[in-house]
Amino acid sequence: MADKAYLILEDGTTFEGEAFGARSTTYGEVVFDTSMAGYQEMLTDPSFAGQLLVLTYPLVGNYGINQVDDQSPYVQARGLVVREHCKTPSHFESTETLDSYLCRNGIPGIAGLDTRALTRRLRSAGVMMGVLTSELTPEEALRELRTAPAYGEEALAHKASTRDEWTVPCTSSTDKPLQVVLVDCGVKQSIISYLTAAGCHVTVVPVSTTAERIRALSPDGVLISPGPGDPVHLTDLENVMRDLLGSVPIMGICLGHQVIARALGAKTFKLKFGHHGGNHPVRDVANGRVYITTQNHGYSVDDTSLPAGLEVSHVNLNDGTVEGLTHRDYPLISIQYHAEGSPGPQDSSYLFQEFVELMQRHV
């Protein structure tokens, strides 16, 4: 007989299901993702750090776990919530089950609950903190949750960032690779792979790296990565960006985009239930073209707060929020969505080549 597990939201709403993965108790902000595949990439995406991940696609685990799709060295989400957990996967690359993968990483899961009802609850009430447990009663779990810090109170990007500098060489045939310094707020492996394949030699540095150290690395460009949490915790990185803007081409993705906007004087705000999934339509303001994008963020740039010179380049067609920024004076590419997908569509991977061309024009 399967072990019982509970998911309890901060408003007291309780869902009962079957435990899989690690048998433990965890808490986090409960968010839903609408992607139809890619649960391994989602679980290892540092942008999900501090969160309990709800997958709206009803069957999860059917192709198992492989050795190539991890986006970071370990599972970043604090818990996984699914409708149906497949215990017998079938795929030629599969090396283990989702259950054993979560157990190995110490991450609890819950299956068999109504994920549609849960998603509707989060859409109507907004994201909430929650606790996932196979150890406590719902009453005990709710009491424990009320003593835990809220998602927005944690400086999660500092926890997700590397502690040391490390380098990944260019993998394409080019005579003179471009030197990119990547500030790690919670970078995904696929971003590094796109850059190295596009002719870049990538040096990954901690989120706390100073402008002086970045300059000492003689970069042709600087990329600020995606990552988890509220950008208000990254004021030091904002100051670094103010120092560097205009002197070197800069690209910001997701959290990096928000940090750049704040460095230039714009404000950010928390979305009601965030954008998480691989089916978000984004319109390029310059040419009207629409891209289907992968997104994973709970905060957005306030378009009414943009200072002179900073302009909206891309817009979300679902809710009209800012999806990209450009600057009249600075060499800058700044996008809210994930150009690398992983998982999700590859429509926007051309932006890495645009970043390369921007750097080449400023060498």
341, 347, 353, 355 alpha-carbon torsion, rounded to 10° = -70
DSSP H or E segment with residue 355: helix 350-362
SS3 category, 248: strand
Active site residue 340: yes
Q: Which entry of 254, 257, 275, 297 is annotated as an active-site residue?
A: 254
Contact yes or no for 7/55 (Cβ under 8 A) = no
Cα 324 from Cα 314, distance rounded (Å): 4
Active site residue 84: no
Structure tokens at 238: 């904002």
Place of tokens 């991450």: 107
Active site residue 140: no
Place of tokens 């060498």: 363
Strand-strand pairing, 178-184 and 200-206: parallel
Give the CA count within 13 Å in the CB-facing half-sphere of 37.
9
- Could you tell me which of 208, 214, 207 has the C-alpha nearest to residue 186? 207
Cα 105 from Cα 199, distance rounded (Å): 34
Q: Can you count the helices (H) and strands (E) in the chain?
A: 10, 19
- Could you tell me which of 362, 361, 359 has the C-alpha nearest to residue 180? 359
Q: Which residues contact 130 (CB under 8 A, 6 or more apart)?
A: 7, 8, 9, 10, 27, 28, 29, 30, 52, 145
SS3 category, 234: coil
Active site residues: 254, 338, 340
